[in-house]
Structure formats: structure tokens, C-alpha cells
Structure 1
């Protein structure tokens, strides 16, 4: 069953400057047989206008899928390294994700995902990133 929800996504790069991006957007929340699903449209603020984001949430992992102007499928599972392609209007990036901490607390009325991971893009310096996704069902 589809429920309306408010999704808050806070992403912080943990370096000297502690770069923080916060987006609050309406979306849809679904209960599935093996977990939950969240869908929302990215906005101009996120820099991905024209992209639909889907988050598939399971007990011990989640996938962040983007389709549209930006395309990717990022997988997060505690103490696991994953690799994905990140397609943008400016080119394709090779992205490595090393999930160091993952806490999923989602129920029928929403909840929170909190993860800390190391993000490597190509040959650039690895970024220690903290991502919090808060889902409030209306």
C-alpha cells in the first residue's frame, strides 16, 4: 500500500569543512514483502532535477537507485565494498562504496536510515560520508 511521506536526506562529507547537504521532499512510502520502498523526485536544490530516486530498504541493507538525468544503483551493506557506475549529464563515473556503519530503523510509519561510508570516485581522494535518510509518513 502506498503512503505519502516527507523524506529528509542529510549528507555530510566528514572532512575539515564538514560539507553538509540537506534536502526535504515529498514522496511515497511502500511496505513490501521483504522490506520497504521509498520514491521521490529530485529537485533543483539537489542538483539532480529530472531524476527519480528509489530506495529499497531491507533488514540489513538498502539500495539507492536513481533514474533520469542521473542514473546509478548504489548498494549499502554493513562492512561491504560495492562498485557502481554513476551516470551524469557530464559523463560516467566509477564509484566505490565501502559501508563502515549501517543502522536501519524503519517500520510501517517510517523511520530512519543512518550510514557512514567511504566514497571513492575514480582516482580522487576518498571521502568519509555520513548519510541520514528520515521518512515521516503523513
Structure 2
């Protein structure tokens, strides 16, 4: 099963509506073993031209990974009530990020679906910033 998909990603920081970043892009959606995958190319508008983003959605274990390869590279793993420290490589140098996942809801099947991640993000020991990430996948 490999399908074209329309992927909508919105990120809201500090629960303020004026801090919303939203991207809608075409991508590919497929299932391999017990996981769904979404793959799309980042754009110049997102500031990551030359980067491919992959979502690995493990519905059975309620885990989600955001993987970027290219001009920007990282692997951010999200799991309910778990912390993770990741390296986020940018063209300007690496950043160390701490991710504290508060809530992860996955509702995805062969037709696509929704993912909601509520997490705190801090960069190199700075004060954590609450972020709400909403992802919608429409398989075509």
C-alpha cells in the first residue's frame, strides 16, 4: 500500500493563536510492518529546502518519530510522558533539544488520520516552550 497524501502540519507555541505555523504539502503515505510512514519534501517557505521529512507512526505502541534528512537533520521521538534529548543539525550548526512529551494521540489507519502531540521543547537548557503539533494525513 503506497498512496499519495495531502499532509497538513500545524505547530502552535505557547497556546497563542498568533504563534501558529501551518504547512500543507503533498507527500507519500504507506504502511510497512506495524508502522505507517509519511514522507514529503520541505519547501523554501518552511526554511528547510533540500530536506526530506518522514513521520514514522507506530500505532501499536503509540510512538511517533519525526525524521529529517538533508540540509536540516534530526530524529525526534515522541512517546507519552517520556523525555528525549536530540541533536538538531542545521546549516548554522547543531542544537541540543530536550523534548518532554506530555500527550500523544494517534488516530491513523489505511486512509490517513490525525496525530496530536503536546510537548515542551527546550534548547540547550533554556526555559521550556510548550508546543502543540497537529498533523492531518489525507490519503488519496
Say yes or no: TM over 0.5. Answer: yes
Unaligned runs of 5+ residues in structure 1 are none
TM-superposed deviation, 1:111: 0.2
Post-superposition CA distance 1:37-89 (Å, at most 9, x none): 00000011211111000110002011100000000000000000011100000
TM normalised by structure 1 equals 0.96
The answer to whether structure 1 residue 11 and structure 2 residue 11 are counterparts is yes
TM normalised by structure 2 equals 0.95
Report what 1:30 is aligned to.
Answer: 30
1:85-96 to structure 2, matched below 5 A, reads: 85-96=87-98
Whole-Å separation in 2 of the counterparts to 1:73 and 1:58: 15
Whole-Å separation in 2 of the counterparts to 1:116 and 1:89: 27
State the 4+ residue runs in structure 1 displaced beyond 4 angstroms.
15-18
Unaligned runs of 5+ residues in structure 2 are none
The answer to whether structure 1 residue 82 and structure 2 residue 95 are counterparts is no
TM-superposed deviation, 1:3: 0.4
Question: Secondary structure at the residue paired with 2:102?
Answer: strand
Aligned residues: 138
1:1-138 to structure 2, matched below 5 A, reads: 1-14=1-14, 18-59=18-59, 60-138=62-140
